[in-house]
Amino acid sequence: MRILVVEDEKKVADFIRRGLKEEGYAVDVAYDGEEGYFLAGTNPYDLIVLDLMLPKQDGLSLCRSLRQDRLTTPILMLTAKDAVKDKVAGLDSGADDYLTKPFAFEEFLARVRALLRKKDNLASTLLKVDDLVLDTLSRKVIRGGKEISLTHKEYSLLEYLVRNKGTVVTRTMISEHVWDISFDTLTNVIDVYINYLRRKIDRGRKKELIHTLRGSGYILKE
């Protein structure tokens, strides 16, 4: 899952980016409202973390602009203001949730996960395809009753494939959701990671779940 963080305080932005990356998310950062508006309109993000007080364009007006552009990406608004009227203003501008600084990172992650589930209309933290089960809360992967150990990036790639089960996903789509803005599209990294997953998920199984469609991309299906 790919997340945009719009935060002008670099220490805070770096803290959030580092924590999200440790959880396996791809993260881009914008340090002002105008850059945030540009990135949000250019790249397909799964979630936007938006600070209220920003230079060039504040968080409320940025949120309203994105909603006026019909962007439906979930938005988690961050602010040091904890007055009820400020929370109401943030939610009325189009934000999906509101978190007051300072915050416990565990709570922040829980709100991120909840918004991502809401985005995909998922009530459960479990994703299933055939005998493959992903627990998006613990990030455990089980197939045929046996737990499979994956790196953060392998898990992120598998989760993206599972969330799009039965649908062909291109290399461009994968790069946009699993890697961040610095990804080099000329490399074969995606093919390498697909092969890593095949060895761990499909090797030795009677039924393969990950398939290549030459000239198109990949599909995960029962």
**In this predicted structure, what is the pLDDT of residue 123?**
57
Confidence at residue 22, expressed as pLDDT on a 0 to 100 scale: 86
| 146-181: pLDDT as tens digits | 999 999 899 999 999 998 899 999 988 888 888 887
Distance CA 46, CA 26 (A): 10
Listed residue (14, 55, 9) closest to 33, CA to CA: 55
Report the pLDDT value the prediction gives residue 101, as an integer from 0 to 100. Answer: 86
130 φ/ψ sector (left φ>0, alpha ψ -120 to 50, else beta) = left
Cβ 58 vs Cβ 51: under 8 Å: no
Three-class DSSP category at 140 = strand
Which two tokens mark 193?
């990671």
CA–CA separation, 31 and 19 (whole Å): 17
Q: Tell me what pLDDT residue 126 has.
A: 84
Q: Distance between CA atoms of 196 and 201, rounded to whole angstroms?
A: 9
pLDDT at 83: 67
What per-residue confidence (pLDDT) applies to 121?
64
pLDDT on residue 94: 87
Would you state the pLDDT for residue 8?
93
Q: 10-residue block means of pLDDT along the chain (222 residues)?
A: 93 92 90 95 92 92 92 90 73 87 90 86 76 88 92 92 91 86 82 93 90 89 84
Bridging pattern class, strands 132-135 and 217-220: unpaired
**The model's pTM:** 0.74
| 38, β-bridge pairs | none
Separation of CA 75 from chain center: 12
* Helix ranges (DSSP H) in the chain: 10-22, 33-42, 59-68, 84-92, 105-119, 152-163, 171-178, 189-197
Least Cα distance to 74 among 95, 91, 54, 50 occurs for: 95
Cα separation, 25 vs 7, in Å, equals: 17
Whole-angstrom Cα distance, residue 132 to residue 140? 11
| Domains observed in the chain | 2-119 (3.40.50.2300), 126-220 (1.10.10.10)
What pLDDT was estimated at residue 155? 92
